């Protein structure tokens, strides 16, 4: 009888404790970098352009000294994208709202394309959306979004960040 009870206890612990070793979406040791960013649309363009200083940026000091390289790549992609959004929304490269939307969409695709290049330059498994091509890639990146409306984080003001080179708006592609 004791051995049967012991087996039941072991089985119960195995079943109930099976998830103990799984990592949660954001454990205490992992930085929180909400990713991927949503594609700019007519619905969220005002927030993309006017609430950028209220969305998180990810300076090197945000990350632990070692590890978390995939979070660093995500943070770098967000920083790059926010920098390029500033260019699009400033009126320096696009003046009309339709051009601003087109510019932000180009910036989104180019920033995520560069993110995928960065992902493939490592010896780790790439982000799942990077494995897709064409429209499937963009649909993948634009699904399961944490902040589709580009809402600011209450009480947050983005620190000054360096300008990210590498983006050129192509008005003929609109």
pLDDT digits (tens, 9 = 90+) for 119-130: 999 988 999 999
111 inside domain:
yes
Q: Are 114 and 77 in contact (CB under 8 A)?
A: yes
pLDDT digits (tens, 9 = 90+) for 38-64: 999 999 999 999 999 999 999 988 988
29 inside domain:
no
96 inside domain:
yes
Q: What are the DSSP calls for 118-171, one per residue? A: HHHTSSSPPPGGGGS-HHHHHHHHTSS-S-TT-PPPTT--PPP----------G
165 inside domain:
yes
Token pair in block for residue 117: 């290049």
* Number of C-beta neighbours around residue 74 at 10 A: 22
125 inside domain:
yes
pLDDT digits (tens, 9 = 90+) for 82-133: 999 999 999 878 778 899 999 999 999 999 999 999 999 998 899 999 999 9
* Number of C-beta neighbours around residue 167 at 10 A: 20
25 inside domain:
no
Write out the residue range of the structural domain in which residue 87 sits: 45-173
130 inside domain:
yes
Full-model pTM: 0.80
Q: How far, in whole angstroms, is CA 157 from its chain's centroid?
A: 18
20 inside domain:
no
Domains: count for the chain: 1
Q: What does the mean pLDDT of the chain come to? A: 84
């Amino acid at each position: 009888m004791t051995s049967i009870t012991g087996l039941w206890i072991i089985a119960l612990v195995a079943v109930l404790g099976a998830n103990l070793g799984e990592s949660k979406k954001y454990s205490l040791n992992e930085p929180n970098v909400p990713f991927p960013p949503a594609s700019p649309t007519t619905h969220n363009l005002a927030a993309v352009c006017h609430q950028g200083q209220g969305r998180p940026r990810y300076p090197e000091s945000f990350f632990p000294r070692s590890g978390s390289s995939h979070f660093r790549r995500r943070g770098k992609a967000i920083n790059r994208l926010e920098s390029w959004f500033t260019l699009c929304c400033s009126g320096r490269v696009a003046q009309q709202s339709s051009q601003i939307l087109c510019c932000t969409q180009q910036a989104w695709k180019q920033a995520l394309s560069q993110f995928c290049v960065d992902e493939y330059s490592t010896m780790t498994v790439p982000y799942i959306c990077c494995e897709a091509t064409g429209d499937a890639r963009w649909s993948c990146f634009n699904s399961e979004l944490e902040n589709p409306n580009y809402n600011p984080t209450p009480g947050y003001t983005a620190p000054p960040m360096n300008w990210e080179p590498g983006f050129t708006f192509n008005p003929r592609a609109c």
